[in-house]
Structure 1
Amino acid sequence: MRVVAGERKGMPLKAIDGTTTRPTTDKVKESIFNIIGPFFEGGVALDLFAGSGGLGIEALSRGADKAIFVEKDGRAFQVLQENIKKCRYDDVTELFRTDAMRAIKGLLKRDIVLDYVFVDPPYHKAMYYDLVAQLVENNKVATTGIIVCEHAKEVTLPESYGEFQLIRQEIYGAAVVSVYRCTKEEGEIVG
């Protein structure tokens, strides 16, 4: 695993030993960022079920201002910390070793708006995609934001999360990447 592009391009990232996590491959990561925009001008990323942090670190390398990482597994969290330190992103990251549901409850209480949301839970835990709906319903995703969900082929995600419509789906082996963007016109008042 490595950082694919941006200011830390080529930086190797440590992976997690064992089968408790399933890192997004470099090929899939590169495809995701080609879909959502190769480079960013600021913004806040949320890497939910972060594992070794590949997606959030990639967002930072490509221009995001800040990334929030949530990972419950102890070994994965340790690798995540090492990767962030190695990439010298300590000052622009928040790391939470907690369950995703608890992390979302905490984010809902904060004055924060997310620009990039990456959701990649264990494939057999489809209920975690409901956390996306909670973020959208509570206006925690910017109207210009992007939501990326990685999931198994057997999991069918909704066509929309509020104003965020499914705009693209790509299949990579057993994995599917679903991308959502807000379809509301800029300046439109939603009542």
Structure 2
Amino acid sequence: MNGGRKAGPGRIRIIGGSLRNSRLDVPDLPGLRPTAERVRETLFNWLAPIVEGARCLDLCAGTGALGIEALSRGAASVQFVERDARAAQVLRDNLARLKATAGQVAVLDAGLFLRGVPQAQDLVFLDPPFALELWSALAQQLEQGGWLAAQAWVYVESPRAMAPTLPPNWQLYREGHAGEVRFALYRRALPLS
């Protein structure tokens, strides 16, 4: 589920692209914190040259705001992974209402999903529930499991005071802070053999 400020039930908006100003329903679920609008705006400014046509994976999708923002801006496809069945259903409903047919939802734990048959992704959103501290484990599965294209981009959202341990070949491109949240974009380099 997306990290950041707690946003109760209600709606958040898509900030750019073909779905700009569309509203997403947000269910009232413990730990569900959609990525703040200001953070999404900064992130997608960074991603502007690469998101169009990209194959994307939104792990721990929560509301799916990051993946839907990518679809709005021309991503070829987004695979959403959300373990909470209620959150996944609201996400499916939002995709259907927006006619975002290039988005698919898997109701599954992110770690279990990554044990499946890999499909190399150009862009991954890694924003697990903060309390579970899954960044390092999921990052290793992404890197070692064949889920990343040769020069994939990976967005990581975490608590400001915490620096997750990530694969050494993930090179920091840009980072920022919003309140108690650190958000960072990494570029994958091929590991040295």
Q: TM-score range by the shorter chain?
A: 0.7 to 0.9
1:1-191 matched pairs, under 5 angstroms: 1-37=12-48, 40-90=51-101, 92-106=102-116, 109-110=117-118, 112-158=119-165, 160-183=166-189, 191=193
2:151 and 2:189 in contact (8 A); partners too? no
**Aligned equivalents of 2:110, 2:96: Cα separation in 1:** 22
1:151 and 1:176 in contact (8 A); partners too? yes
The two structures, once aligned, show a CA RMSD in angstroms of 1.9
- The structural deviation recorded for 1:176 is 0.7
Percent identity, aligned pairs only, is 33
Q: Number of aligned pairs?
A: 182
- The structural deviation recorded for 1:129 is 3.4
Unaligned runs of 5+ in 2: 1-11
Quick one: which amino acid aligns to residue 19 of structure 2? R
1:16 and 1:79 in contact (8 A); partners too? yes
CA 1:174–1:41 in 2, change beyond 3 Å: closer, same or farther?
same
Corresponding residue SS for 1:33: helix
**Aligned equivalents of 2:169, 2:48: Cα separation in 1:** 20
**TM-superposition CA deviations, 1:157-191 (whole Å, max 9, x none):** 23x5242212222110011102110245xxxx954
TM-score, normalised by the number of residues in structure 2: 0.86
Quick one: which amino acid aligns to residue 134 of structure 1? Q
2:60 and 2:128 in contact (8 A); partners too? yes
